[in-house]
Structure 1
Amino acid sequence: MKTIISIILILILSIVSAFSQEISGDWSGKAKRGDKEITFVFNIKQEGTNYSSIMNVPTFRISGIKPAATTFTNVKLIIDGSNLGMSYVAEFNNELQQFEGTYKEGGIEMTLNLKKGAVEIVDQRRPQEPVKPYPYYEEEVMFQNKEANISLAGTLTLPNKEGTFPVVILISGSGPQDRDETFMGHKPFLVLADHLTKQGIGVLRFDDRGQGESTGYFGSATTEDFSKDVLSAIAYLKTRKEVDKKNIGLISHSEGGIIAPLAANNSKDVAFMVLLASTGISGTELSVMQSKTLREFPVKDEEAYEKNTRKAIAIVTSNKSESEIKAELTAHYNDFLRPILSGLNVPEKNINTFITSQVNTSIKPWSRYFLQYNPADEIEKLQIPVLSLNGSKDTQVNAQINQNGIREALIKGGNKDYKILELENLNHFFQECETGKMDEYRKIEQTFSPIALKEVSSWVLEHIN
């Protein structure tokens, strides 16, 4: 018996040992959400006894996402993306040679099995994306945020290798973004940078902290932290001889529009600012609005729903400890959301996952800071030229309400040089659209309306000293 056990033990150890050598590399698979297939690729690396992974979602053209931790023990793989709001837990099926598990993100759960090897994805047509070689100079760059002790990686494009040029910094919207602001199969910042550089305007765009080639941890950062990353980008541009130091500008999209004013008010080197689909109301009011317009389920009593949403925000922004907030918020969501979702026949397991995800997202530093922050307070202080563009069919950031907030703040602060323009039939990403709803972004071939591109470049060129 001892001999048999020893042989079995040796066999088990050899299998585990052989497999541990093979876990490094690409693992890919498809998950289904409704009738849509989503392809995932995880590149796993073994570093001594530890592992790390990079997540790519080719379906959405998302790449370089770095989960917080990856562990592989007793054939169980755990990819902890708490910094990204996702997780993947799976066990290895030795017979089929694949990981079998569950991918979770927000309140969504999907079965996802991974096999060794990457997959080839046929991209949808995106005719506006530039094709190399570009008719301008491009350089991969790296700069430091010394205060946060992180390195930020980006791309600098200049009209020519030689000369001095005005340069703008592109600031991405909410969530972990790469330098191209890749989203729903589009690369809006790549298209915008290409257009501006061809018009004689240099562009610096960079991966958010913890994304792509940038270091740091995205999940613990606030809007204020991101503004300091922008200040680091400004400091870097000032070291470049090709940059006209008197004409450094900021172009921001969505949440970037609340980061940009904060950065500009802490720098003497920002000459002008462009706000794209930016907000002009407090994070609380925007969140209440989006909770009603973007939610995926109906409610019988809108007034009660808003009242309970505001109560949840009050809990999140209280001065209580994190554990107290978490407990109180969980109890509130159980009283408030659970009956609504149960009434829609949502499985109990899914409700529990949704509530847990909502609580964990709400107590993050970014959420608590954002809900208490009003960009109008910083916009009011701006004494530099400002261009604000919003799409009339933006369902994420209402053009009229938010531009009224931006306008009132600029007037109150006595800003003498600003332009606020609502562009017809454009959505949150400045695509020409039918409905403006989020599920339409991917279906649209256009990445960035030429009308919006021209508005931005013409205004910037008019404001170069």
Structure 2
Amino acid sequence: MKSKLLILIFLFITHIVSSQENNFKESEIDIPTKTQIIYGTLLTPNSVKKPPLVILIPGSGPTDRDGNNAVMKNNSLKYLAESLSNQKIATYRFDKSVLTFTKKDTLKIKALTFNTFINEATSVIKYFKKFKNYSKIIIAGHSQGSLVGMVASKNNADAFISLEGAGRPIDEIIIEQIAKQAPYLKEETIRVLKELKQGKLVTDFNPMLISLFNQQVQPFLISWIQYNPQIEIKKLTIPILIIQGTKDIQVNIKDAELLHKANTTSKLKLIENMNHIFKEINGDVNENLQSYSNPKLPITPILTTTILNFINQLK
């Protein structure tokens, strides 16, 4: 009897402690669009009547609402959302529609373009705007999601945050990466990208580039290449915060500087030792790469503080 009582007391105390750890409530919010349902998680801070809302847009590839994919789990976006919501900021993070596709969804895969992601983000913003439950709506796009967020934010959001976002068109970045990793394929890559930029599908190219330029990917690349982050960010008349980690091995500091230069009203914050997924790296490249598959490693607290200061200064 005593042991059962002790267990009950322990469970009760554990419940209280776990409830105190997070100062928000969590709910699943499904948002319908013209083509797809967007599945996401809303965190609402306790005892705040009309909090600001930060909508987090995930990066490239099959990245989910938490910043994870099938190969790597790091919980980067999950930790950022929870960290902000514990500081009285509502957050919504969502899965891109591509994560719901199966091999049988050939028509959806063929129809997928960069504009698909922009339309989805725009639908999410408009969904929350219509309820008028938030004092401000801020878009925070990570990596590829930065460009998506820039375009979707125009005339829709109160502020925009670029998290490790590229400052150049994707074709320039691809050429730069190929030049470093396989310089003998650089000229071939330039040729293919030039045709794609003109809206042409390419069938004849070096087989070594098949993973980059396979027929299913090309329509997506054609639509993505049309967007220049420097041009898109220049169109924004809302407050802008550009955040870049100095240990990011995927996006260069010069990209953040290009974005800042393109829109001089923006604020630029370089966070020392932060990598692409918001983790603090004090060692070498191996430590950096290992962090991508370490879901227990927290994000650097400076990131949360930087975003909070930016939101608190919004009028």
Query: Which TM-score applies when normalising by structure 1?
Result: 0.57
Hey, what does 2:163 align to over in structure 1? 276
Assess, with a 3 A threshold, how the Cα gap between structure 1 residues 431 and 292 changes in structure 2: closer, same or farther.
farther
Does the CA-based 8 Å contact 1:143-1:236 persist in structure 2?
A: yes
- State the 1:362 CA deviation: 7.3
Choose which of 138, 146, 151 in structure 2 pairs with 1:262: 151
The one-letter code matched in structure 2 to 1:255 is Q
| 1:405 and 2:253 matched | no
Residue pairs, 1:44-55, within 5 angstroms: none
SS of 2:259's equivalent? Answer: helix
Aligned equivalents of 1:284, 1:190: Cα separation in 2: 30
Residue deviations 1:161-204 (CA, integer Å, cap 9, x gap): 76211111100100122211215221111111111111111111
Q: Which amino acid aligns with 1:315?
A: E
Alignment partner, residue 291 of structure 1: 178
How far the C-alpha of 1:218 sits from its partner, in A, is 5.9
Larger fraction in helix: 2
Contact 1:162 1:242 in 2 (8 A): no
**Which residue is 1:307 aligned to?**
187
Kept in 2, the 8 Å contact 1:224–1:262? The answer is: no
1:450 alignment partner AA = P
Residue 26 (structure 2) aligned to one of 119, 123, 138: 138
Give CA deviations for 1:405-433 in whole Å, capped at 9, x if unaligned.
2022103xxxx3x2112222221112112
Structure 1 pair 432/234, CA: closer, same or farther in 2 (3 Å)?
same
- Aligned pair count reads 289
The residue number in structure 2 matching 1:174 is 60
| TM alignment of 1:95-244, pairs within 5 A | 134-146=22-34, 149-160=35-46, 163-183=49-69, 184-211=72-99, 217=108, 220-244=111-135
Write the deviation string for residues 375-422 of structure 1: whole angstroms up to 9, x where unpaired: 1111111111111011112111111x20232022103xxxx3x21122
Inter-partner Cα distance in structure 1 for 2:54 and 2:75 = 17
Counterpart in 1 of 2:236? 382
1:318 Cα deviation after fit: 3.7
Instruction: Give the counterpart letter for 1:457 in structure 2.
Output: L
Q: Cα distance 1:276–1:218, how it changes in 2: closer, same or farther (>3 A)?
A: farther
Post-superposition offset of 1:236: 1.1
Matched, 1:420 2:268: yes
Contact 2:196–2:218 (8 Å) recurs in 1? no
Does 2:291 correspond to 1:441?
yes
1:135 to 1:319, Cα distance in 2 relative to 1, 3 A: closer
Equivalent position SS for 1:451: helix
Highest CA radius of gyration, 1 or 2?
A: 1
Post-superposition offset of 1:212? 5.6
* Aligned partner of residue 313 in structure 1, secondary structure: helix
Alpha-carbon distance in structure 1 between the residues aligned to 2:85 and 2:188:
48
- Distance change >3 Å, CA 287–CA 166, structure 1 → 2: same
Partner Cα separation in structure 1 for residue 241 and residue 95 of structure 2: 24
Q: For residues 405 and 223 of structure 1, what CA distance do their matches in structure 2 show?
A: 22
Q: CA RMSD in A?
A: 2.7
Aligned to 1:395: 249
Highest RCO, 1 vs 2 (Cα 8 Å, sep ≥ 6): 2
| One-letter amino acid of the structure 1 residue matched with residue 186 of structure 2 | E
How far did residue 361 of structure 1 move? 6.1
- C-alpha distance 305-181 of structure 1, shift in aligned 2 (>3 A): same
Q: How many angstroms does 1:252 deviate by?
A: 0.9
Change (3 A) 1:440 1:361: farther
What letter matches 1:199 in structure 2?
Answer: Q
- In the alignment, what sits opposite 1:9? none
The match for 2:7 is none
More strand by share: 1
* Structure 2 runs not aligned, ≥5 long: 1-17
CA contact (8 A) 1:287 1:371 kept: no
Q: 1:454 aligns with which of 294, 305, 314?
A: 305
Corresponding residue for 1:369?
Answer: 223
Q: CA–CA distance in 1 between the matches of 2:80 and 2:218? A: 31
Aligned match of 2:142:
253
Distance 1:402 1:365 in 2: 25
Closer, same or farther in 2 for the Cα pair 1:220/1:187, shift >3 Å? farther
Looking at structure 1, the residues matched to 50 and 249 of structure 2 have their Cα atoms a distance apart, in angstroms, of 40
